[in-house]
Copies of this chain bind each other. A is one copy, B any other.
Amino acid sequence: MQKEYAILKKCGLSITTSRKAILDVFLQSSEALSHADIERSTAPAFDRVTVYRTLQTFVEYGIIHQIPTTDNSVLYALCKDECAVGHHQDEHIHFICILCKKTSCLEHVEIPKVNLPKGFEPVQTAMVIKGICLHCTD
């Protein structure tokens, strides 16, 4: 699997076992992941602190982005190629299924522009929709 290698290389990050493994978890997953998910998904497990630091680094370098939630948790998902250090292009909709609880990125649905009142200048927009996902509407 060379994709992890390419991504880390591109960012100028050193290629380490934990970074490759954690990145691999994201590449394998179609849904957004929490810190706990990631801790659980690697074998052997990495130190909790390493997971924290790795996720933080990935966010900084635009490899993953954070998804806002209303419970006290943060979810992470892979960014698309256009993301870079300090510049996240994650203006897509996040969908949280109320049945299967999975959160996924709807990459291809654009966020509509809204007319803000005079004086407000938007910089980044996030949209989170709760509902029933593709796999649960049978």
Contacts and interface: CB of A to CB of B under 8 A. Distances in A.
A111 to B, nearest CB: 7
A116 B106 contact: yes
Interface string A7-36: 000000000000000000000000000000
A133 interface: yes
Contact of A134 (B106, B111, B120, B132): B120
Contact of A68 (B70, B95, B98, B112): B70
Contacts of A73: 72
A123 B127 contact: no
A133 B119 contact: yes
Nearest to A137: B119
A121 interface: yes
Interface in A79-138: 93, 95, 98, 106, 108-109, 111-117, 119-134, 137
A41 interface: no
B124 A117 contact: no
A50 interface: no
A122 B129 contact: yes
Contacts of A129: 114, 116, 120, 122-126
A117 B104 CA distance: 13
A69 interface: yes
